[in-house]
Amino acid sequence: MKHNSPKEDRATSLPAMRSLIGGGKIGSLLHEIDWSITPLGPIKQWPQPLCGALNIMLNCGHPMFLAWGSSLTFLFNDAYLPILGTKGADPAQALGKPFAQLWAVIWPELKPMVDSALSGESFWADDLPFTLHRNGYAEQTYFTFSFSPIRDENGKVSGLFCACHETTEKMLATQQRDEAAEELRKTNEKLMLATEAAEIGLFDHNVETDEIIWDARTKHHFGLPPEADITLVTFFSGLHPDDREMVRKTIEDIMVGEIKSRYQMEYRTIGLEDGIERWISAKGLSFYNKQGRVYRLIGTTMDISERKHTEKLLRDTAQHDILTGLPNRGLLYEYCEHLFAMAERAGVESAILFIDLDRFKPINDLYGHKVGDKVLQEVARRLLSCIRKEDIACRLGGDEFIIMLPRIHADIEPETVAQHILNKVTQPFDIDGLTISLSPSIGISFYDRHAKDLETLIRCADLAMYSAKKDGRNNYKVYTPGHNERANDLLLLEIHLKHVIDEQGLMLYYQPIIDIKNGHVVGVEALLRLFGEDGELLSPEDFIPIAEAAGLIESVGKWVVNEACRQHATWIKAGLPSISISINVSALEFRQREFAANLLNAIKNSHINPGYLQIEITETMIMDNIQESVNTLNEIKALGVQIALDDFGTGYSSLSLLQRLPIDKLKIDQSFIHRIDTDLPKQSIIEAIIGLGHNMNLKVVGEGIESQEAMAYLRDHRCDEAQGFLFSQALPPKQFENWFKSYSNKLH
């Protein structure tokens, strides 16, 4: 969805939302309980921080609870009910109880976390074990917790907030998987030993004469033909460089150390003829003379390369992402524990980069997971090309990646690495004949400036990344403490947005479009508006990214189409002439297969002439898959709907592309209109756009007209239509109707 001029869309701060919104079963139950007899007092007296935390909790699908006041009065949401077990049958018995009383059995384990939050510090812990008595019996459970303090209006910690997740099934599955893996390893080892028995080589070394007898199988282990001559020099030159010293020390120990009768070692060889790396197991007996020194070694060799490969495969599977081959979360934690300690000893700074791909979900939705997987694999390769060997790139899951820089300095700063990543990832992807474009948003946090544990550093970088998305995506942000507050505000806004969609709380405002030749109103552009709970206007820059991230943009877009068509029909009944209504389409909405069908349904339901409906698309929306975009536009044209190319001049269009698009209008981006009467380069661009449009039989519209000088310039250069504050700002339906009548009377 599009918003208009910055002057028009300035918004105040986010709404306070003091009242409780939604919340399901628990939300309703909260209003039924007599809280006046509890330490919290009546709901209407509850402080704003408590209400804000409640709104977040009650409308979240993840288990959450909070505790407030000196007695730590316990409140929770619907998703938390299964954790209560049989107590959940009557949640009123649990609501409002003191925290320590409700969970008395496990309070000793919980109290340190609670104390940490009440001291003003956040606490994160994964997969903590608890023995819970629920559902009639004691059971071993595991939970992941994220505790945060809640401060009152004076900044004092007055409660705690916790998002929790039961991980019992995951942990039991992990244990079963580990047990199965161990059983598989043992089975594989037995199998390998059985198959290797036929591959045993023999050797006999007379130490005193230095005579060595090697059979054909042992020679093969060194990548040599049967007739080759093997000496100790040849033996050592054939060892892998990392193993030469180890083997030499072992042999010396056999020769001059304590009297031993048996020995065994494993080492790698590099084939002297074929260059192949092999793992060899050597075992045998040592014989001693009367002086107690070894005079003879005999033994066997076995090629155990397959076994070593299997063991490595098992390790890699457990520690690496199968799709991209990058380290997974578990290996990242293992690495970072050591790297942070090294960085602290060396007195250097480390950094975490949290990378999230912008609008990756539509790639899976439109082209399938096979294409999406290939994109992720290519992203992984590009990330590796942006970092040093000592740095770590990890895939957390989905389209989220982590880069850990263990040692940063003036030449290697995380901001520099982030910019390299932006430059690399934004280059088009050529996947199965498709040209796909996407961008990353990156958040940065520093050890130990922001935290001294990886979990907190990731969370800080995640919040910074979300701020980068909010500021337009395709950029990076360094974490600041203010991002915590912003994250809560955004969650409240998402809750509010869901509420107004359900309650039909959105509105369309309408800005007139004027025929430059005669001054008549020929159309309007419908602009989406959202009002906060307190009635203040919120900027689309705030709520449209939230709608996209929360998967709400399709519902919003469908509502806009239906409302615009309905309003057109209403104006016709009110006696207004038929004028076109333009609606803006998001990239996600445009790429949906049902988009043209949704337009048709809206037209039929409102009984309007489709020729008076116009959709506005941008150049960037059609670049990911030009042919599919052209096909969709042709479907829309077949309905009789008009098409305008919005913000023209800011994208990537070429003349050959424009000729393929079934469009009716070009809308000159308002950035070119500003100061048009004095800016010669802008004048040249506008004149070129107008000439191009007319040569292609397209109408040209100038946006953002705010002065008579700009209007005169466009009139002199034969621009067709104009839109901007010079005529009117966007208005609610009834006000626009009144404005239209007044404006039309002045023309006559």
Q: What is the 3-state secondary structure (H, E, C) of 604-642?
A: HHHCCCHHHEEEEEEHHHHCCCHHHHHHHHHHHHHCCCE
Instruction: State which H helix or E strand residue 124 sits in.
Output: strand 123-134
Residues 6+ away with beta carbon under 8 Å from 9: 3, 537, 539, 540, 541
Query: Crossing angle of helices 48-58/24-32, nearest 10°?
Result: 140
Going by their DSSP bridges, the two strands 699-703 and 665-668 should be labelled as parallel
DSSP SS3 for 486: helix
User: In the predicted model, what is the mean pLDDT of residues 481-499?
Assistant: 65
Give strand ranges (E) for 215-347: 262-270, 277-288, 294-303
Nearest alpha carbon to residue 217 among 273, 297, 300, 309: 300
pLDDT of residue 338: 79
Cβ(382)–Cβ(424) below 8 Å? yes
Residues belonging to the chain: 748
Residue 375 has pLDDT above 90, yes or no: yes
pLDDT band at 272 (very low <50, low <70, confident <90, very high): confident
Distances (CA, A) of 27 to 21, 52, 56: 8, 13, 12
pLDDT digits 0-9 by tens, 630-657: 888 999 999 999 999 987 765 545 565 6
User: In the predicted model, what is the mean pLDDT of residues 418-447?
Assistant: 91
User: In the predicted model, what is the mean pLDDT of residues 49-58?
Assistant: 82
Nearest alpha carbon to residue 460 among 439, 486, 495: 486
pLDDT band at 385 (very low <50, low <70, confident <90, very high): very high
User: In the predicted model, what is the mean pLDDT of residues 267-286?
Assistant: 85
Please list the residues that pair with 139 across neighbouring strands. 132
DSSP H helices in 326-360: 329-346
pLDDT of residue 351: 92
User: In the predicted model, what is the mean pLDDT of residues 722-732?
Assistant: 92
pLDDT band at 194 (very low <50, low <70, confident <90, very high): very low
Least confident of 308-322, 398-412, 517-531, 556-570: 308-322
> What is the DSSP-derived secondary structure letter of residue 303?
E
pLDDT of residue 609: 92
pLDDT of residue 68: 93
Structure-block tokens of residue 323: 């799709």
pLDDT of residue 155: 79
Residue 439 has pLDDT above 80, yes or no: yes
| CA atoms 401, 405, 411, 413: torsion sign | positive
The rounded distance, in Å, linking the Cα atoms of 188 and 313 is 12
Please list the residues that pair with 145 across neighbouring strands. 125, 164
pLDDT of residue 343: 77
Going by their DSSP bridges, the two strands 73-76 and 392-397 should be labelled as unpaired
pLDDT of residue 642: 94
Residue 11 has pLDDT above 50, yes or no: no
pLDDT of residue 374: 92
Residue 86 has pLDDT above 80, yes or no: no
Gyration radius from the chain CA atoms? 35
The rounded distance, in Å, linking the Cα atoms of 185 and 191 is 10
pLDDT band at 9 (very low <50, low <70, confident <90, very high): very low
Q: Which residue has the higher pLDDT, 356 or 298?
A: 356
Selection from 42-51, 286-295, 313-322 with the highest mean pLDDT: 42-51
The rounded distance, in Å, linking the Cα atoms of 148 and 66 is 9
Average pLDDT, rounded, for the chain: 81
The rounded distance, in Å, linking the Cα atoms of 40 and 492 is 22
Least confident of 390-404, 503-517, 524-538: 524-538
Cβ(582)–Cβ(526) below 8 Å? yes
pLDDT digits 0-9 by tens, 296-355: 888 888 888 877 776 666 566 667 787 888 888 878 887 887 787 787 777 788 899 999
Residue 151 has pLDDT above 60, yes or no: yes
Least confident of 159-163, 483-487, 504-508: 483-487
pLDDT band at 16 (very low <50, low <70, confident <90, very high): very low
Distances (CA, A) of 556 to 82, 337, 551: 33, 45, 10
Nearest alpha carbon to residue 698 among 650, 651, 646, 652: 646
Q: Which residue has the higher pLDDT, 142 or 155?
A: 142
DSSP SS3 for 51: helix
Cβ(22)–Cβ(499) below 8 Å? yes
Cβ(698)–Cβ(663) below 8 Å? yes
pLDDT of residue 743: 92
pLDDT of residue 87: 44
pLDDT band at 454 (very low <50, low <70, confident <90, very high): confident
Residue 409 has pLDDT above 90, yes or no: no
Helix and strand numbers, DSSP H then E, in the chain: 27, 26
Residue 426 has pLDDT above 70, yes or no: yes
pLDDT band at 185 (very low <50, low <70, confident <90, very high): low
Residue 732 amino acid letter: P
Using a CB cutoff of 8 Å and minimum separation of 24, what contacts does 687-691 make? 687/717, 689/648, 689/649, 690/717, 690/718, 690/719
Nearest alpha carbon to residue 82 among 61, 105, 110, 106: 61
Cβ(140)–Cβ(131) below 8 Å? yes
User: In the predicted model, what is the mean pLDDT of residues 181-200?
Assistant: 53
A 10 A CB-CB count for 322 gives 9
Give strand ranges (E) for 340-452: 349-358, 392-397, 400-408, 429-431, 434-436, 439-447
pLDDT of residue 491: 62
Q: Which residue has the higher pLDDT, 601 or 52?
A: 601
pLDDT of residue 14: 33
Q: Which residue has the higher pLDDT, 377 or 592?
A: 377
> What is the DSSP-derived secondary structure letter of residue 44?
G
Give the percent of the chain with pLDDT over 70.
84
Residues 6+ away with beta carbon under 8 Å from 147: 113, 114, 116, 117, 122, 123, 124, 160, 161, 162
The rounded distance, in Å, linking the Cα atoms of 533 and 15 is 6
Cβ(446)–Cβ(350) below 8 Å? yes
Residues 6+ away with beta carbon under 8 Å from 452: 340
pLDDT band at 410 (very low <50, low <70, confident <90, very high): low
CA 432 to chain centre: 24
Residue 723 has pLDDT above 50, yes or no: yes
Nearest alpha carbon to residue 728 among 1, 2, 3, 5: 5
Cβ(109)–Cβ(132) below 8 Å? no
Residue 615 has pLDDT above 90, yes or no: yes
